Structure 1
């Protein structure tokens, strides 16, 4: 009876070996995944297009800031003039002119905030364009190198240099996108 009980175990073991051996051979035959790493922050920081975009936005900020400072100076001069003329104005005239100056000051602050938002939005749109081109370049490199997985360097602790394609991506980005097209703006 013990001999008969061993037969099913032997058959099961033989069956497992027959199934497991080809699966193990298949697993060994399958290649290991090929991984690439890119330092997106370095590419964006060193990109010619991003530098040009940042310079254009900064120039717009400075221009807008100067225009606002000039208007503030005019408001201060008008306020000083109103203070000088206060004795010659009736209380109603003085309050009306004072209210007008305050309204202009509030309007100026709102315009300054709107201009900052507009410039921030332009910068975001430009960065989005650069990031889209960088994504396409990363996809091209992944296809060319037959990469199965691309990771951002910020998610990796240690990486061998042969897996890192940051410099290649930066070179291609600089060759493909020197400047970002932004809508023309009036200050």
Structure 2
């Protein structure tokens, strides 16, 4: 009888030790995880970003200034182009074999080299001015982009918008949108008020 009691006590102690060593999950007592936070209900705004940038007063001012500087550049290089055309015409009439025999070859070669140097200089000027205009345009339009983004953040806060889609042509993001959620016109109006003009400056690296 005593042996049976000792056996039962040992079995009970063993069971208690096993239970203490086994995780609660293994005993079917899993901890209840809190439910995930619910996703916010989408509040959508739709804008044609490229249209607003292009049609904004600031965007138009950038293009106008670039066009004006392009015209100034053309006026700057026109005399050089005319000079080169005149010299080229002269040399075309005096190519070796057709020029007068008395013409000095050394003098002729020196003049040809001078023309080539002048052509290279003109090409360098053209490349520099093009790079300058590209930088000015990109910097100006970047200012317009940043101002429009600020406008969109403002509209989102006012209207509780948590998702803005770009309906720009060719992007394929939006096929249809109710007028109530289209914010293109309002964004354009506010952008014009915030940034009516961009003053372009010559890049520091430009010459």
**Considering the TM-score relative to the shorter chain, is it more than 0.5?**
yes
Aligned-residue RMSD, C-alpha: 2.6
- 1:158-173 superposed matches below 5 A: 158-173=176-191
Task: Tell me the CA shift for residue 171 of structure 1.
Answer: 0.4
After superposition, give the CA deviation of every residue in 1:58-110 in whole Å (9 maximum; x if it has no partner): 11112212322221101223444567896564111110111111111122012
**1:12 maps to what in 2?**
none
Residues 159 and 78 of structure 1, relative CA distance in 2, 3 Å threshold: same
- SS of the counterpart of 2:142? helix
Larger Rg: 2
Task: Tell me the CA shift for residue 39 of structure 1.
Answer: 0.8
Q: Is the 8 A contact 2:132 2:202 kept in 1?
A: no
**1:112 maps to what in 2?**
126
**1:142 maps to what in 2?**
156
Q: Between Structure 1 and Structure 2, which shows a larger proportion of helix residues?
A: 1
How many residue pairs get matched? Answer: 162
Alignment partner for residue 58 of structure 2, among 27, 49, 60? 49
Task: Tell me the CA shift for residue 31 of structure 1.
Answer: 6.4
With normalisation by structure 1, the TM-score equals 0.76
With normalisation by structure 2, the TM-score equals 0.70
Residues 143 and 97 of structure 1, relative CA distance in 2, 3 Å threshold: same
Consecutive unaligned residues in structure 2, runs of 5 or more: 1-31
**1:129 maps to what in 2?**
143
Consecutive unaligned residues in structure 1, runs of 5 or more: 1-18
